[in-house]
Structure 1
Amino acid sequence: MPYKRGKVWWISYTASDGTYVRRSAGTEDFAAAKALEQKERSQAWKEKEMGFDRQRTFEEVMIEYLNHAAQTQRSFDTTQHRVKALREFFAGRVMNDLAGKDIREYSAGRTAAGKSPATINRELAALSAAINWCSVELEWKLPNPVKGRTLREAESRVRWITRGEVDSLCRAARSQRNGDMLDDFIRLAVNTGCRKEEMIGLEWRRVDLVNRLVYLEGDHTKAGKRRSIPLNEGALAALKGRMAFRADHCPSSPWVFSRRNGDKVIDLSEGFEAACEKAAITDFRIHDLRHTCAAWLVSAGVPLIEVRDLLGHSTVQMTEKYAHLAPARVRDAVSVLDQTMSQSRYTENPAGRADKALKLVTA
């Protein structure tokens, strides 16, 4: 029978594995608590005696998955945001009964709300990851209807600017409060291809000015793999600017991008957006500085594999979105046809050409 703790009723029952369970019924209504207790006991008996699978709700699956993700994911905040969107649709759903129509209804609803296919697919990926984790690690027998039901995405956005526009952006940045830091940030980004988080979290101990390298450990990169980034003159100039700032204001700060009190900079988005507006550069985000670095390299003829290694992409397929910026590769390929045609013209048997001509005349 349910029993009371404070104002809330609690229930107790023996689970199918023999574990004695005591938990809150989450209600002050005795009848509702009793009904819940009977339901749990009935389900436990079915699992034990008849081999039925326990019914798992969306909340149960997500709680287990998020507890795991909080310990292992660097992008846990993003995962939480996606789960929040999922909860609005799947709250209270029994995951054992999840079917393809539920996934299609979710996608249709999010599309009607104005969300892009890429956003919807990332949310569904979080749902799929949660189901898979519970199925493998907890051995819950759950279907995963997300597989094969993602939406077709448009080609990923690639926005980059010219060197002249970078100079204009840096001039606009320097005209603002703390503009020297934003200027150095922009120049370091376009000369190394580092992500925003990689630069904001950069420590001086990982900067080697003698060998002109920046070292990133797996904890600092999105792919979880360490990599070394060579420094050209533009990147060195930006780091020397930060070094002079540190010497004047916070000599003991471990951070490359720090405030005057030595604390790490949290975000530069507001100043960056203001600088873009002053420089009349539209539809340009901080992450596009990374695209700009890649675009410059590919346009200069640097092989995609080398660009991949610099940017830290997991596969060269991720780097191929910049391939259209290297028309010289295609031009060289087509020029091979000219050479082939030219060679065949001069190596063809003269007698053979005469025979062809004769046939045309007599036809």
Structure 2
Amino acid sequence: MPVTDASPSCIPTLREALSRYLLEITPQKKGKLQESRRIHAWQKHPLGDLPLDRIRPIDLVSYRNNRLAAGRSVYTIRLDLAVLSHLFEIARTEWGHETLGNPVKALRLPAFPPGRDRRLEPGELGKILSLSTQVMKDLIRFAIETAMRRSEILSLTWDRIDLEKRVATIAETKSGGKRKVPLSPLALEILQKRLSENQGRPFPLSPDDVSHRFLDACRSAGIRDLRFHDLRHEATSRFFEKGLSVPQVAAITGHKTLQMLHRYTHLRAEDLALKLEECSGPPPKRE
């Protein structure tokens, strides 16, 4: 049974509150496994011994700075602090501790680094494909044609693919809900070939297997600083280069905001210069 004693004199320690949060709140979340790991890490932290009302913003400043100094990514630190912030909000609004402040809200969060702008250079894709197995060749091409995430591609099953309508349905996306992805002629061709070779999933690989195989091919080809997820950036940029509108690209990629879509779009200046040349006509007459 959940703890119901919410009198002001019974403010729990951070460790105790996290245990309750783990039982009542975390199971309702899509990313419950990842959040459980973050909670267990917080419970081992020295701050876990303090009552919630004794945790100050300066304590979290030390936590933030120590994590940055240890080389943890900004994304990781912000996610860790987000768990703590939500815990304080739940304690205040649902557990009866109305006077409890949220020290995370007074904290200056570390700024996100500039988004990656790595795209495939001429010749790189051919080198990677030449050093990849057939299933990886198909997967890489499919990723570039659809802008789907690694997890989304690997979760595809044949019952979620309509070859006649040329649509693949992602049952559960990173941002929640499902998304229907239109299939280009090449993406459709890849799936039709995979269907003739497989009775299970189109791409029967694990996420780690895909990442390791991709990095191995890049190393063998002498290609640096390229990750499998960069193919999603590549695909998104190619959609715009083909002339698709912002709403059309967002519908394919699943980006909820223009800001996030922009982070995944990297149009080359030299390509835009060629586009301007193609679109240019005689200069307008001036009266």
Residue 266 to residue 73, structure 1, CA distance change in 2 (3 Å): farther
Seen in structure 2, the aligned counterparts of structure 1 residues 56 and 290 have a Cα distance that, compared at 3 Å, is same
Deviation at 1:242, TM superposition (A): 1.7
Out of 141, 165, 171, the residue aligned to residue 187 of structure 1 is 141
Instruction: Give 1:295 shift.
Output: 2.0
Match of 1:304, as an amino acid?
Answer: V
User: Alignment RMSD, CA only?
Assistant: 3.0
Q: Is 1:138 matched with 2:95?
A: yes
Aligned ranges for residues 255-334 of structure 1 at < 5 Å?
A: 255-258=201-204, 267-322=209-264, 325=267, 328=272
CA separation of 1:126 and 1:92: change in aligned 2, threshold 3 A: same
1:90 paired residue among 37, 43, 47: 47
Give the AA of the match of 2:234: T
* TM-score normalised to structure 2 length: 0.84
Of 71, 75, 84, which aligns to 1:114?
71
Please give the residue correspondences for 1:231-246 in structure 2 after superposition, counting only pairs within 5 Å. Answer: 231-246=183-198
Residues 166-177 of structure 1: matches in 2 within 5 Å?
166-173=125-132
Question: Structure 2: which amino acid aligns with 1:67?
Answer: L
- The Cα offsets for residues 212-260 of structure 1, whole Å up to 9 and x where unpaired, read as 110123xx211112221111122122212321221xxxx3x3x22237x
Asked if the contact 1:200/1:266 (under 8 Å) is kept, the reply is no
Larger C-alpha radius of gyration, 1 or 2? 1
Superposed displacement of residue 68, structure 1: 3.5
- Looking at structure 2, the residues matched to 113 and 321 of structure 1 have their Cα atoms a distance apart, in angstroms, of 26
TM-score by length of 1: 0.67
Q: Which residue of structure 2 lines up, in the alignment, with residue 40 of structure 1? A: none
How many pairs were matched up?
276
Are residues 326 and 140 of structure 1, via their aligned partners in 2, closer, same or farther at CA, if it must alter by over 3 Å?
A: farther
Could you say if the C-alpha distance between residues 130 and 95 of structure 1 is closer, same or farther in structure 2, counting changes exceeding 3 Å?
Answer: same
Change (3 A) 1:245 1:144: same
Label 1:270 to 1:315 Cα distance change in 2 as closer, same or farther (>3 A).
Answer: same
Distance (Å, rounded) in 2 between the aligned partners of 1:165 and 1:326: 16
Of 306-315 and 184-193, the range deviating more from structure 2: 306-315
Unaligned runs of 5+ in 2: none
TM-superposed CA distance for 1:86, in Å, is 3.1
| Alpha carbons of structure 1 residues 124 and 300: separation in structure 2 relative to 1, 3 Å | same
Pick aligned residue for 2:112 from 153, 161, 165: 153
Relative to structure 1, the CA distance from residue 125 to residue 237 in structure 2 (aligned partners, 3 Å threshold; closer, same or farther) is: same
Match of 1:202 among 148, 152, 156: 156
Say if 1:143 and 1:315 are closer, same or farther in 2 by CA, change over 3 A.
Answer: same
What residue ranges of structure 1 are gaps of 5+ in the alignment? 1-14, 18-43, 174-178, 347-363
Relative contact order higher in (CA < 8 Å, ≥ 6 apart): 2
**1 CA distance for matches of 2:120 and 2:12?**
50
